[in-house]
Amino acid sequence: MNILVLSAHSDDAILGVGATMAKYVAEGHRVLVVICSAGESSPAWARNKKELVKTRINEAIAADHVLGVTDTIFLGQKDTKLTSRRDYLSKKVAYLFERYKPQKVFVHHANDLHPDHRAVFLACKRALEKTRLETEVYGFEVNSWFTPFVRENQIMIDVSAYHHKKMEALKHFPSQQYLIYILKPFLYVKSLYYGLVYGFKYAEQFYTYTTPN
């Protein structure tokens, strides 16, 4: 089974889907991670943005390897500019859908208020409308003040055996450690809470969407 994860920035996929990706790889599935922008606007004080792009690309590849993911695709768009590149992104995503025909797609959830995250979701939606791909679509959260609290169409995936791999993968983003240091306790508590509610040790939460007919 091919599983495609669409993320706006280099660390988003790990934050939102990391343990689930590790689980699917361990089960023998092929996981492809598509990163639209390296996220070079963070940290804001970095002066050499070209070097930061290279750094964040290398960090993403190293983090994906911890999970067993060897297919990482970079679309090379500028951070904070994805809204203006939505048409381009939808065409690229449609091409990837037609090439890999993923049975599952993970993307930023529809209610995410971060402009780049929202642009990636809308590009995915347009690509699905264009290709009429028959697939399962799941929205994931990236924890930030841009993420509203929503409850509809939730599913939980048991990641008890893979949570530690997600935490290990996050260590491979040294350029983002100031932010990840803040997020890690929240990620841990959230995964533990979702697991307890559904009878697991750890779980990741997603939102299900209906694809166009």
**Sheet containing strand 30-37, strands side by side:** 71-77, 30-37, 2-7, 104-108, 136-140, 203-209, 154-158
> 33 near 5, Cβ under 8 Å?
yes
Write the CATH number for 93.
3.40.50.10320
Q: How many domains, in total, are found in the chain? A: 1
> 33 near 69, Cβ under 8 Å?
yes
pLDDT confidence of residue 23: 99
* Cα separation, 182 vs 170, whole angstroms: 12
Contacts of 117 (CB under 8 A, 6+ apart): 8, 12, 108, 142, 146
pLDDT confidence of residue 140: 94
Contacts of 128 (CB under 8 A, 6+ apart): 97, 105, 135, 137, 211, 212
CA distances for 77 relative to 9, 26, 119, 151, angstroms: 10, 31, 12, 31
* Cα separation, 26 vs 23, whole angstroms: 5
* Cα separation, 112 vs 145, whole angstroms: 10
Contacts of 155 (CB under 8 A, 6+ apart): 138, 205, 206, 207, 208
pLDDT confidence of residue 61: 97
pLDDT confidence of residue 113: 84
CA distances for 44 relative to 12, 47, 56, 118, angstroms: 17, 8, 14, 21
pLDDT confidence of residue 79: 74
Chunked into runs of 10 residues, the chain (213 residues) has average pLDDT values of 96 96 99 87 58 90 98 89 90 98 96 91 96 95 61 86 97 88 88 92 92 67
The whole domain housing 121 covers 2-209
Bridge partners, 7 (sequence order): 35
